[in-house]
Amino acid sequence: MSGADFWSNNSQAQTISKEASSYEKILNLLHTLENELNDLKELLSLSKEEEDVLSDISEQVKSFEKKLEDLEEESFYSGEYDDLNAMISINAGAGGVDANDWAQILYRMYTRYFDDNNMDYTIEELSTAEEAGIKSVAITVNSFRAYATLESERGVHRLVRISPFDSNKRRHTSFAGVDVIPLIENSNEVEIKDDELRIDVYRSSGAGGQHVNTTDSAVRITHLPTGLVVACQAERSQLQNKTRALELLKTKIALKEKEDKMQELNSIRGDQVEAGWGHQIRSYVMQPYQQVKDSRTNTEVGNIQAVLDGEINIFIKDYLKWRRQGLND
Cβ contact 284:301 at 8 Å? no
Cβ contact 252:228 at 8 Å? yes
What's the CA gap between 126 and 221, in Å, rounded? 15
Cβ contact 102:176 at 8 Å? yes
| Identical topology for domains 86-183+295-328 and 187-266 | no
Contacts of 15 (CB under 8 A, 6+ apart): 185
The secondary structure element, H or E, covering residue 183 is none
pLDDT of residue 252: 87
Alpha helices in 225-312 (DSSP H): 238-269, 304-308
Cβ contact 97:129 at 8 Å? yes
> With left for phi above 0 and alpha for psi between -120 and 50, is residue 238 left, alpha or beta?
alpha
CATH node for 187-266: 3.30.160.20
What's the CA gap between 221 and 243, in Å, rounded? 10
Name the residue among 273, 293, 271 with its Cα closest to residue 283: 293
pLDDT of residue 268: 46
Per-residue pLDDT of the chain (329 residues; tens, 9 = 90+): 888 888 888 767 877 887 788 788 888 888 888 988 888 888 787 776 666 666 677 778 888 888 888 888 888 888 888 988 999 999 999 889 999 999 999 999 999 999 999 999 999 889 999 889 999 999 999 988 999 999 999 999 999 999 998 888 889 999 999 999 988 866 666 778 888 899 988 877 654 433 444 567 889 999 999 889 998 988 878 888 888 888 888 888 888 887 776 666 455 444 433 333 446 899 999 988 999 999 999 999 999 999 999 999 999 999 999 998 876 65
Count other Cβ atoms within 10 Å, centred on residue 109: 20
pLDDT digits (tens, 9 = 90+) for 130-145: 889 999 999 999 988 9
Query: What fold, for 86-183+295-328?
Result: Alpha-Beta Plaits (3.30.70)
pLDDT digits (tens, 9 = 90+) for 56-114: 777 788 888 888 888 888 888 888 889 889 999 999 998 899 999 999 999 999 999 99
Write down the domain spans for the chain: 6-74, 86-183+295-328, 187-266
In whole angstroms, how far apart are CA 247 and each of 191, 236, 244?
11, 17, 5
Q: Nearest 5°: phi and psi at 229? A: -130, 135
pLDDT of residue 187: 61
Q: What is the dihedral of CA 15, 148, 114, 19, to 10 degrees?
A: -20
Cβ contact 182:164 at 8 Å? no
Name the residue among 158, 157, 156, 153 with its Cα closest to residue 139: 153
